[in-house]
A = this chain, B = another copy of it.
Amino acid sequence: MVLILKQGTSLEDINAMVEEFNDMGFRVGVTNGIGCSILGLIGDTKSLDIGALELMDHVEKVLRVQEPYKLANKKFHPESTIVDVEGVKIGGGHFAVIAGPCSVESESQIISVARSVKASGARMLRGGAYKPRTSPYSFQGLEVEGLDLLLKAKAETGLPIVSEIMSPKLCEIFEEKVDVIQIGARNMQNFDLLKEVGKMSRPVVLKRGLSNSYEEWVMSAEYIMAGGNSNVILCERGIRTFESFTRNTLDISAIPAIKKMSHLPIIVDPSHAGGMSWMVESLALAAIAAGADGLMIEVHNDPQHALSDGQQSLNPKQFDDFMKKSFPLVQAFHPGM
């Protein structure tokens, strides 16, 4: 932590501050300049509140030096985390595609989609049973029945299943039925939910919030990890910007940035990012080339009649074409897959 003092702070005042920080257990280095003096605080400053320090009488500005995250920090854990879901690996050189409909709508729908995405090369099946919808009048999901239909699809195809949890009340049922717990963008800072999911044994896909910084996103992963669950996969799904042509703006820089900050795997959801099916292929290929560890893609057997997100879903044929097109790229970036 670095404190820039106001111009004209007297030596006496500086000494008083140094003493105060020493009493709190910090070592302090002082640089006295013409324009201003600078204090460098050495010690575990994670608990200090920058805002409160800035209120001190002689302080002009406070600058943090250390990152506020530890368990998710690459500096303290240099090797990449590999998340293993019944043998399907993501991270540390391993790449996998998760595919499936936005919402589980019926047994025939989910089984048909599961079969086709598996045939095209997907390694996990996604499907929403509890749906976060902007309108209370929109379809809210089949709930627990939806989870059971996902389990039937898993029984048919062997694909592990990924589904979104929206409430801490559902942790028990998700722990029992779902292979990978998804936390949606709107719940990225639902800290109560993060704490509960931290106690679960299932791996977690943590989507980035609509307007959350990389650091806030990693801090949310830190919440889950601090609870004991270290199998967190970060998922970039587009951020909210001024550009309204696309549903969101895919922040492709998140891939190299997260890989520098953290050892956790990062995957990309090109369906929500662009919000339009014709854009999925371009964005997905870009994500692979930028170094993503996986993709999560919406596939629906009949997008025109989907109960949600039809406009951004690929149909099975489009998904198959994409998988074929992406294959050499995945191999180039993940040799041995």
Q: When chains A and B are docked, how far (Å) is the Cα of A244 from the Cα of B61?
A: 14
Binary flags per residue of A242-268, CB closer than 8 Å to B gives 1, else 0: 111110011111011100100000000
Q: Which of A73-125 contact B (CB under 8 A)?
A: none
A256:B239 contact, CB within 8 angstroms: no
Chain B residues with Cβ below 8 Å from A144 are none
Question: Are A243 and B252 in contact (CB-based, < 8 A)?
Answer: no
Given contacts A4-B2, A186-B190, contact A279 B252 (CB under 8 A): no
- Of A9-17, A45-53, A174-182, the one touching chain B: A45-53
- Contact check, B246 vs A52: say whether CB atoms are below 8 A apart: no
Q: Cα distance A212–B189 when bound, in Å?
A: 14
Chain B residue numbers with a CB within 8 Å of A323 are none
Interface: A337 (CB within 8 A): no
For A190, the chain B residues whose CB sits under 8 A away are 166, 186-187, 190
Pairwise interchain contact B242-A213, C-beta atoms closer than 8 A: yes
A305→B226 contact, CB < 8 A: no
Q: Specify the chain B residue showing the minimal Cβ separation from A243.
A: B213
Q: Which residues of B contact A66 (CB under 8 A)?
A: 35
**B169, A169: Cβ atoms closer than 8 Å:** yes
- Complex CA distance for A100 and B243, rounded to whole angstroms: 30
